[in-house]
Chain A
Amino acid sequence: MAGDSADIVRLDGAEKHFGAVRALDGVDFHVGAGECVGLVGHNGAGKSTLMHMVAGTLVPDSGQIAVRGGIEHNYSVPRAQQLGIRCVFQELSLCPNLSVAENTRINHPALRGLGWRRKAADLIAAKLDEIFPDHSISASDIAGDLSIGRRQTVEVARAFTVTQDPLELVILDEPTSSLDAHTAGQLLAFVRRFVAAGGSCILISHVLGEVLQNADRIVVMRDGKVVAADAAKAFDRDRLVTTMGGAEAREKIAAEIAKREAGPLRVRARPARQEDGKQLVANAGEIIGLAGLAGHGQTDLLLAIFAAASRAKAGIEVTAPVALVAGDRQADGIFPQWSIAENIGIRSLARLRNGLLISPQREAELAEFWRGKIGIRTPDLNNNIFSLSGGNQQKTLFARALGSDAKIVLMDDPMRGVDIGTKLEVYDLVREEARNGRTFLWYTTETEELDNCDHIYVFKNGRIVANLRRDELTEEKIIQSSFGDAA
């Protein structure tokens, strides 16, 4: 349907190598005007590399890029901006020390001179109002003070602000990974309005339902190549997963969870703001889900339980060692200067000790075991943790927790921005560990993940508002309790 001139962006035969790794292997890709292209694939399939090229942050080793039919020889970020191509990157790219308005200024060289602060503040506030009507963010808020979800809304809104340059194409790389269902819905509705009005959009998401429902066309990538590209209608969930090469697992989960003996009590906790008698109870071998809108006290409770494991705390009873898998892995999870093996071993130092020192050999053994078990893809565990892709970094954090002596594993929305293949592998592992008697407390913003849980507690305003068994669980019920009248 698209002639060359109707294409906003067209890449032909794009290749990119990073050392020995072939990140992109001759990719042809185009986006038409007024089109929303869904881009799916495992972490490391080359999606991000491709998007960096479209945004101008990476230059292809070979191949060419054309914008609106004209071939670009010196393509760069400023050039892409002139041409109206914007990108919301997966890693949050706000400056935490600057206010929301000042962060807007960074993307708009035109915002200067007298009164630029007022202009920037009005610009971002108007866009936030348009996309997320009940956002409650002020342009003078410092970005670092905002929750991760709110930072993401600011970043998305910023990408859609317009000053002197046109706005043709917005790349959204995992835009909903830190948003709750309500806010994500607002964003996707806006994207559809934007596309209907003639804008173009590339939507990358690991939540396949989002892509299926919102994209006009879906491009599937695998191992640096485009393996399928077709109208969204031609795909369904199963075909997408098969094309991506993911394992198929969903149905068997429910059957498996069916019946388990309740083991001894592991955790009993009442949130600090709880006023009635409701409390969270977790027994050995159970997977407990913490649901509800993002930032309604789930993380606080997990951290309180974590603290209670080492120091007695009123209202919380913990009977076994605890490990935490952090959600914001860059900020709270990994040790950036350390190797993969050191990052895995840090929770188990007592066991890795040889006399007064840490035995490098035992550390390597532990890491090697978990590399095999959880599938961390690296040539050498002594490489720096940053040599891994995001999904593999997250696996490292799981290996750290699961490799420890902890009987209780707290998970703080750990699957944010992780591809579906990795997710399914980790889900399997979590269930296997639960069968062996471990207890998991799992906060997640993705309703699908709750399918893995035996028991779900829904949170609202720092309180438990509902307590659902696996067989009672439906998305409607969760949404109902999350938004229900202040009960």
Chain B
Amino acid sequence: MTAASVENGLRSSSTRRAAARARMLRSLLPALSLALVLMAIAWLNPRAISYFGFSLMLNLAIPIALATIAQMFVISGNELDLSIGTFVGFVGCVTATWLKDAPLLGVAVLAGSIGVYALLGALIHLRNLPSIVVTLGMSFVWQGLAILILPKPGGKAPDWLLSIMAFKPPLIPFPIIAALLIAAVVHFGLMRTSYGVILRGSGGNAAALERAGWSLLRTKIVLFALTGLFGVLSGMALIGITTSADANIGNGYTLLSIAGVILGGGEFVGGRVSPIGAVIGALTLALAASPLLTFMHIPPDWQVAANGAILIIVLAARVLISRRER
């Protein structure tokens, strides 16, 4: 009998090991796709693989990574934020105007916008509204506000922000350090802390969490506020790089951020997300978006479509691996 149960245990732990292996493979996929894109770039243009090359190619990766992390927080609570792009644009406009000219007002507006995100979370939870609808509506609100603040492209980033983004550390390019830092901080906060478990659990099985006495209202507010916070960081980082703002500057970020989360191994429902994966996904997208395609001599007219093709290939590979996991 003991022999039987030991054997039984071995058998089942081997199937679980297989599941763990498949999950490992899936979590390596983002890194793998990044490596693939890097190899392609190295092959097409070896000179790009240098301190200067990376600084240039990954310039825009920081705001994309931050927006992706922002999106990841709502996704880990089974919601979606369709307004993150225009929100980044709005933050950009505030950064390039008020934050420079009237810092107190600027800080208050940015803090207030994070508060608005928290309220949206509360509203979505209390009224049981679909987040897609609420955030789609909000995307027009943010866009409208951005246009009110900055009717035509212009403004100027605060000097301190410019100097942060122009920081040139020795040996390793700044965007890579920033990406590592973002990934490490968020990974610790969401994956390792005890409250991060509760936040992810709210996406995995909300009813179980409520029965254990946790407030789902609070988890939703926290997740949305974190989205707002990282949206603000993304907008500021973007303006620190571009130096001036435009009301439409962040519009592409909504889909980029969603794609980054999914590319990084996250799933739309079930609280399965990976901050490290999300950052890698954002880097991959940033590289595949223009440097790679430019090196491939693909005309700009076709670059958006080529970008989509890369997305489809990587996501299809992910689906194949998840299927093996079952």
Contact = CB atoms under 8 A, between A and B. Distances in A.
Interface string B173-210: 00000000000000000001011011011011101111
B11 A461 contact: yes
A106 B209 contact: yes
A13 interface: no
Nearest to B11: A461
B204 A96 contact: yes
A111 B198 CA distance: 12
A134 B3 CA distance: 11
Given A77-B213, A96-B204, A483-B1, A461 B270 contact: no
A309 to B, nearest CB: 20
A113 B9 contact: no
Given A134-B2, A483-B4, A486-B3, A102 B197 contact: yes
Interface stretch (A141-149, A335-343, A356-364): A141-149
Contacts of A138: 13
A170 interface: no
Contacts of A76: 213
Interface in B1-39: 1-13, 16, 19-20, 23
B272 to A, nearest CB: 5
Contact of B211 (A89, A112, A486): A89
A460 B8 CA distance: 9
B5 A134 contact: yes
Nearest to A482: B4
B298 to A, nearest CB: 38
Interface of B is mostly: helix
B214 interface: yes
A107 interface: yes
A182 B5 CA distance: 10
B213 A136 contact: no
A95 B211 contact: no
A98 B204 contact: yes
A485 B195 CA distance: 47
B295 to A, nearest CB: 38
A460 B3 CA distance: 13
Contacts of A93: 205, 207-208, 211-212
Nearest to A295: B12
Interface in B132-156: none
Contacts of B205: 93-96
A117 interface: yes
B9 A136 contact: yes
Contacts of B20: 141-142, 145
B271 interface: yes
B8 A293 contact: yes
Interface in A177-196: 182
A431 interface: no
A200 interface: no
Contacts of B5: 134, 182, 483
A111 B9 contact: no
Contacts of B194: 105, 111-113, 116
A138 B9 CA distance: 11
Given A106-B198, A116-B194, A97 B270 contact: yes
B197 A106 contact: yes
A77 B211 CA distance: 7
A117 B16 contact: no
A150 B12 CA distance: 10
B11 to A, nearest CB: 6
Contact of B16 (A98, A103, A141, A293): A141
A112 B3 contact: no
A91 to B, nearest CB: 8
A111 B23 CA distance: 27
A461 B209 contact: no
B201 to A, nearest CB: 4
Contacts of A102: 197, 200-201
Contact of A95 (B7, B213, B271): B271
Interface string B57-73: 00000000000000000
Contacts of B1: 483
B7 A136 contact: no
Nearest to B195: A112
Given A95-B205, A96-B204, A485-B3, A77 B212 contact: yes
Contact of A78 (B3, B7, B203, B213): B213
Contacts of B10: 136
Contact of B192 (A94, A117, A182): A117
Contacts of B3: 485-486
Nearest to B19: A145
Contacts of A482: 4
A145 B197 CA distance: 18
A106 B208 contact: yes
A97 B271 contact: yes
A358 B277 CA distance: 44
Interface in A278-294: 293
Contacts of A103: 201
Interface string A460-487: 1100000000000000000000111110
Contacts of B7: 461, 486
Given A461-B7, A461-B11, A484-B4, A96 B270 contact: yes
A134 B6 contact: yes
A354 interface: no
Contacts of A95: 200-201, 204-205, 208-209, 271
Nearest to A145: B19
A135 B8 CA distance: 10
B4 A106 contact: no
Interface string B236-272: 0000000000000000000000000000000000111
A107 B210 CA distance: 10
Contacts of B8: 134, 136, 293, 296, 461
Contacts of B204: 95-98
A145 B207 CA distance: 20
A81 interface: yes
A57 interface: yes
Nearest to B2: A134
21 contacts: A57-B210, A77-B211, A87-B211, A93-B212, A97-B200, A97-B201, A97-B203, A97-B204, A98-B201, A105-B197, A106-B208, A109-B213, A113-B194, A134-B2, A136-B8, A136-B10, A141-B20, A142-B23, A461-B11, A483-B4, A485-B3
Interface of B: 1-13, 16, 19-20, 23, 192, 194-195, 197-198, 200-201, 203-205, 207-214, 270-272
- 3 pairs of A and B residues whose beta carbons are closest in the complex: A95-B204, A136-B9, A93-B208
Given A98-B201, A483-B4, 11 more contacts: A77-B213, A93-B208, A94-B208, A95-B204, A97-B204, A106-B208, A134-B5, A135-B9, A293-B8, A461-B11, A483-B1
